[in-house]
Amino acid sequence: MRLYNSLGPNPRCVRMFMAEKGITLPTIELDILGAENRKPPYTDKNPGGQMPALELDNGGALGETVAICEYLEDKHPTPALIGTRLLATFGEVERMSRIHHTSISWR
């Protein structure tokens, strides 16, 4: 797995999630101010062109922050950050999504 990273709250959310879990991954830095994320080869991996993306070992990629966190939770269940029961899981994903869209500054 490799993380496509840049400045911005969404990549930061994934980095925070990884830090809490003690996950380290090879990282590829893209310059979003220079629109590096809006052209190949990145858009070949993530056609939506936004950051971050998680490149999977099978060559595919996840291009949504919450989906990346859920995938990492599944691969690295401990410590559990999303919740261990079905309803708790849905509620926690929604809470995290709201928090990171409303509370994290652009840096």
Ligand X SMILES: N[C@@H](CCC(=O)N[C@@H](CS)C(=O)NCC(=O)O)C(=O)O
- Residues at the contact surface with ligand X, assessed by CB under 6 A: 8-10, 32, 37-38, 49-51, 64-65
Minimum CB separation of residue 8 from ligand X in Å reads 3
Minimum CB separation of residue 37 from ligand X in Å reads 5
Gap between the Cα atoms of 31 and 56, Å rounded: 21
Gap between the Cα atoms of 82 and 87, Å rounded: 11
Q: Which two tokens stand for residue 47?
A: 């056609």
Q: How far is CA 35 from the centre of its chain?
A: 19
What's the half-sphere exposure (Cβ side, CA atoms, 13 Å) at 40?
1
Give whichever of 21 and 61 is closer to ligand X, judged by the CB atom: 61
Q: Which two tokens stand for residue 81?
A: 């950050």
Give whichever of 85 and 107 is closer to ligand X, judged by the CB atom: 107
Give whichever of 38 and 75 is closer to ligand X, judged by the CB atom: 38
Minimum CB separation of residue 97 from ligand X in Å reads 8
Gap between the Cα atoms of 14 and 68, Å rounded: 7
